[in-house]
């Protein structure tokens, strides 16, 4: 699908790995193409917490990770303690931790539900969180029990504002 200008502007604020796609975006407007990272649907689905987790919901399953800001503030992640599949979480429960520079930082679940999968690649190679926080560095997938909780989370503009206003 073609990528609209609004989405292109949104792409400018995405992490550097995705910015490499910028030259591609101009061509997309003229050609029919399958969904890319910059597709409107993916960005609209992503919500954020003030603790710098993101969640991308497709149907009833949300994929959770930490933002580019978070991975920068942590430093090189050496260990990811992820919630086990089948564990039940409430919104904002601490559900794991990421370790970097001998500091363990807690992870919070953006929504209530049941964990369906944790990212074994990230357990094996925690650096994926730094290299690709929105793609290969996803942390766990959760089946939402209360989808209305998403309304309380920040959208991308809200998260950007949060970063600005809270002195990040």
Partner 1 sequence: MKISVVSQNFHRSVNVWSVGFLKYQTAYHIQQYLANLQSQRLNKEKTLDGTIIIVEHSPVYTTGIRTQGYSESEERRLKTLGAEFYRTNRGGLITFHGPGQLVVYPILDLKSFNKSMKWYICKLEKTVIEVCKSFGVEAERSSDTGVWVKDNKICAIGVHGSRYITTHGIALNINNDLSWFSHIVPCGIPDKGVTTLSQELRKPLTITDVIYPFLQSFSHEFECDMKMLSHEVRKDVVNHLKKENLTSDITEAQLLRNNDLKLK
Nearest to 140 by CA among 123, 113, 115, 106: 115
Question: Cβ closer to partner 1: 116 or 162?
Answer: 162
Q: Is 87 in the site for partner 1 (CB under 8 A)?
A: no
Q: Is 74 in the site for partner 1 (CB under 8 A)?
A: yes
Q: Is 164 in the site for partner 1 (CB under 8 A)?
A: no
Give the Cα separation of 116 and 124 in Å (integer): 18
Q: Concatenated DSSP letters for 100-121?
A: ETTEEEEEE-SS-EEEEEE-HH
Q: Is 106 in the site for partner 1 (CB under 8 A)?
A: yes
Q: How far is the CB of 93 from partner 1 (least distance, A)?
A: 12
The residues pairing with 32 across neighbouring beta strands, listed in sequence order, are none
Q: How far is the CB of 159 from partner 1 (least distance, A)?
A: 14
Give the Cα separation of 42 and 107 in Å (integer): 23
* Residues binding partner 1 (CB under 8 A): 51, 72-75, 78-79, 81, 94, 97, 99-106, 166-168
């Amino acid at each position: 699908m073609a990528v609209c200008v609004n989405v292109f502007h949104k792409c400018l604020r995405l992490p550097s790995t995705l910015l490499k796609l910028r030259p591609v975006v101009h061509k997309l407007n003229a050609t029919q193409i399958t969904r890319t990272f910059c597709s409107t649907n993916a960005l609209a689905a992503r919500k954020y917490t003030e603790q710098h987790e993101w969640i991308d919901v497709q149907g009833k399953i949300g994929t959770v990770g930490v933002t580019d800001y978070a991975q920068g503030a942590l430093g090189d992640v050496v260990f990811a303690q992820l919630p086990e599949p089948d564990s039940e979480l409430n919104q904002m429960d601490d559900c794991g931790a990421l370790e970097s520079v001998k500091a363990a930082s807690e992870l919070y679940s953006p929504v209530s539900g049941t964990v369906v999968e944790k990212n074994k690649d990230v357990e094996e190679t925690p650096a994926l969180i730094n290299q690709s926080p929105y793609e290969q560095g996803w942390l766990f997938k959760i089946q939402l029990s209360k989808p209305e909780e998403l309304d309380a989370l920040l959208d991308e503009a809200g998260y950007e504002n949060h970063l600005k206003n809270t002195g990040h």
